[in-house]
Amino acid sequence: MSTIVWNYDKDLSGTNPNNLVSGEVHNIPAVNGRAFATDNGPFYSDSVVVKVKDTGVTLTRGVDYKCLYLYADATAASGKSVTAVIQIVNASVIGDVLVDYQVVGGEFSSNAYALEEAIAALEIDNRAITWINVLNKPAVFPPEPHLHAATDLYGFEYLVDAINDMIQAILLGDTTSHDQIYLRMATIKKQLQDDYNAKIATFNARVTQVENDMDAMNTRLSGQMSALSSVVTNHINNKNNPHGVTTTQISAVPTSRTVNGQSLSQNIVVGTVLPGIVVVWYSNSIPAGWYLCNGQAVNGNDPRLRALVGANVPDFRGYVLRARDGGRGVDSEPNRGLGSIQTDAIQNITGSFGADVASSGNVGVGIGGAFYEGGDLGRVTDGGSAFHGEFRSFQFDASRVVRTAVESRMKNVAVNYIIAGDNATML
């Protein structure tokens, strides 16, 4: 067996000067084929140098070109990246380039891997091609005008014979033959007309049959569609679980659970509210399921509301609701119970005046607030003209310092308060 001689010895260090290939020329076209395999096999990617031949400009790896088709065995053996193909990605690089690279050599000199990849890229497929798999074929193939020999025609043998007879008669040129020609032409004309009429009659009969078949099909389809529509409608309207689906199959919630106190086996009104909710209602027409808060009795259909408020709903008419203090200390009665009533009250109003009137010059001195001087009630004298004192009237009137009415109140708007029963719905 002969020994294989490699052009370059195997160099796994990537530094053997004998394995350095310099100035290898490759032409880069403007479009396709902008990748090439080095002539001497795989090379060390990190040391390759690619230059534009005309300008001497050195290209940058990763920007102007890429090293492709990694040789796994050579890379594993050397511990360095070994590839076999260079792809120029900079579109402005066109024409010859010079490549300097450190070839691996030895058994890695073969370009078999690169050839296999190139062949695979051609996507060669040797499988049998059927007519149906041919792409972009025309839908019709209109014939071009062309000639046929009379003997190539089938089904018109009688016509071919007649034409041959006419040719022979014309060539002979006798009158008898000409009469035969006319007779034969008449016969041919009749045969052609009869053949045409027969084919037209057959065609019309087939068209009529197709039309009849289509009408019958439409009638059957109409009946089937009507029946199918009826079946689908009945199925949609069937609320009795026609498929026999179980709660386990659809992971349904067990009927033992409840919603708003009602089991899932009962009819539940979607959108119900919790009994006992109080809302402001700007209407004198009270919605179903709700009570006007006027002290009326709770009916027997609302056991949960009865458990909250007792036999009667609270009577809020004329009252303003105040949030329970709960020990905060804002309310003067911070520990009042829920539903307790506070009567009307106002903060204390104070005023002052001087009580000792020694002379008329001191009348009204020191009066303020809700008090005012009301006039002379009599003088104290010694029986003569000497002045010893004076009785005066002092009045109290809160309207001098605040707005007043027959009740204590805040600014307000009249509304109704309503409370939700067991079956009240969202408003």
Concatenate the DSSP letters of all residues of 372-388 into one string: EEEEEEEEEESSSS-EE
Instruction: Name the nearest CA neighbour of 39 among 27, 29, 47.
Output: 27
Q: Are strands 258-259 and 49-52 parallel, antiparallel or unpaired?
A: unpaired
Mean pLDDT for the stretch of residues 312-318: 92
pLDDT at 155: 64
Say how far apart CA 405 and CA 427 lie, in whole Å.
37
pLDDT at 123: 53
More confident residue, 340 or 262: 340
pLDDT at 92: 93
- Asked whether the predicted pLDDT for residue 298 surpasses 90, the reply is yes
pLDDT at 362: 56
Q: What are phi and psi of 78, to 5 degrees?
A: -95, -20
Please enumerate in sequence order all residues whose Cβ is within 8 A of that of 349, keeping only pairs 6 or more positions apart, or say none: 369, 370, 398, 401, 402
List pLDDT tens digits, range 396-408.
Answer: 777 777 788 877 7
Which pair of tokens denotes residue 200?
């037209």
The DSSP element (H or E) to which 393 belongs, if any, is strand 387-396
Structure confidence at residue 204 as a pLDDT band (50, 70, 90):
very high
Cα atoms found within 13 Å of the Cα of residue 348, Cβ hemisphere only: 2
Least confident of 161-170, 205-214, 414-423: 161-170
This model's pTM is above 0.85: no
Please enumerate in sequence order all residues whose Cβ is within 8 A of that of 384, keeping only pairs 6 or more positions apart, or say none: none
Residue 330 CA to its chain's centroid (Å): 52
Q: Say what percent of the chain tops pLDDT 90.
A: 32
Q: Are strands 35-37 and 258-259 parallel, antiparallel or unpaired?
A: unpaired
Which single residue is written with the structure tokens 């498929």?
A: 243
Average pLDDT, the chain: 79
More confident residue, 345 or 170: 345
**Number of H-type helices and E-type strands within the chain:** 5, 14
